[in-house]
Amino acid sequence: MFDKLEDLCKRYEELQLELQSPDVTSDTNRFRKLMKEQSDIEPLVTTYLAYKKAKQTVAESLEMLEGESDAEMRDLLKEEISDNKAQIEEYEKQLKIMLIPKDPNDDKNVIVEIRAGAGGEEAALFAAELYRMYVHYIESRRWKIELVNADETGLGGMKEVEFMVKGQGAYSVLKYESGVHRVQRVPETESGGRIHTSTASVAVMPEAEEVDVVIDEKDIRIDVMRASGNGGQCVNTTDSAVRLTHFPSGIVVYSQTEKSQLQNRDKAFALLRAKLYDLEQQKAHDAEAAARRSQIGTGDRSEKIRTYNFPQSRVTDHRIGLTLYKLDKVLNGDLQELLDGLTAADQAAKLAKQEEL
């Protein structure tokens, strides 16, 4: 581990020199690439230098302690040694986590798809609530959200909704949301006061660039039509909505949220690329059983990951056994405690797997 950290420190110094070179500053693409590499390793280098400084302080304090006879000074030195040893232990933990191989998709934007599951209209209402929950969270992070498609019901629910999230590290944060979300409550239409259980599935897919997925135009059919819906911006009088059918995979995507056919076409292709890229990721994931076991949950889209219980105002994430009694706040976008818990558990699982090797 420490050899790798020393190499990273040397590389960081090289990057600083390269970035000052006129040859580099005049080459925009190269400059941007080197700046990204520097920003990626900077947290590691900073933590490692702090670790080395704490180690040095302990060594110097121990040396001073040997020749010190003053009782008060000895106590101060012992306290300094103790504090720095605690810091060293914390830095080591941080460095081990930071050295875990990074998911190559973590820095990407995402496309999120929410579909109503079992439960009829109640499931559609729950899907709409999940959509609003994510919108509130995304806005709190100052990320950008773009609606791609929404299949709304007449009662305020959503059979299906797809949207793009643009923001630094969006996939690294939201990727844990993939799976089946379950709601337990008494529907307004239920006269007997019985609790019903409904579900909605969430799929979080990294945005795929054209270089990530090559789509042969012979493999798709493009249909244009008028947008449909329950009124508002989703309905217009021109053929602006776009539907793509990908024959090899059977995937059909639809975009109707923009007034421009060209914009809807771009969004539809972005959604199709993301779905095809995600399909390949899922195949690779299923082929790597050992890797799957080291992750939080199975990664299976059919896995029930979270329950939202209205009678008890309770939210439970089943993968990490975390229960919060603040359902209203969670549905209003207060997801950070859940996401932090999932991130920490995933890191701990990967770290344990790494130490086994």
Q: Give the pLDDT band of residue 83 (cuts 50, 70, 90).
A: very high
Q: What is the pLDDT of residues 188-224, one digit of tens each?
A: 766 667 888 999 999 999 988 776 788 888 888 998 8
* Cβ pair 138, 83 in contact under 8 A: no
Distinct helix (H) and strand (E) counts, the chain: 10, 11
Whether the per-residue pLDDT at 234 is higher than 50: the answer is no
The predicted pLDDT at position 201 comes to 93
Whether the per-residue pLDDT at 279 is higher than 80: the answer is yes
The predicted pLDDT at position 299 comes to 44
Q: Which CATH architecture has domain 110-349?
A: 2-Layer Sandwich (3.30)
Least confident of 97-106, 170-179, 221-230, 285-294: 285-294
Q: What percent of the chain has pLDDT over 90?
A: 38
H or E stretch at 172? helix 170-174
Query: How many angstroms separate the CA atoms of 143 and 166, rounded?
Result: 6
DSSP strands (E only) in the chain: 110-116, 144-152, 158-166, 179-185, 196-206, 220-225, 241-246, 251-255, 304-309, 314-317, 322-324
> What are the residue boundaries of the structural domains of the chain, listed by start?
2-98, 110-349
Q: Phi, psi (5° rounding) for residue 8? A: -65, -35
The predicted pLDDT at position 126 comes to 94
Q: What is the pLDDT of residues 14-56, one digit of tens each?
A: 888 888 888 888 888 888 888 888 888 898 899 989 999 999 9
Number of neighbouring beta carbons within 10 Å of residue 78: 13
Q: What is the mean pLDDT of the chain?
A: 85
The predicted pLDDT at position 199 comes to 93
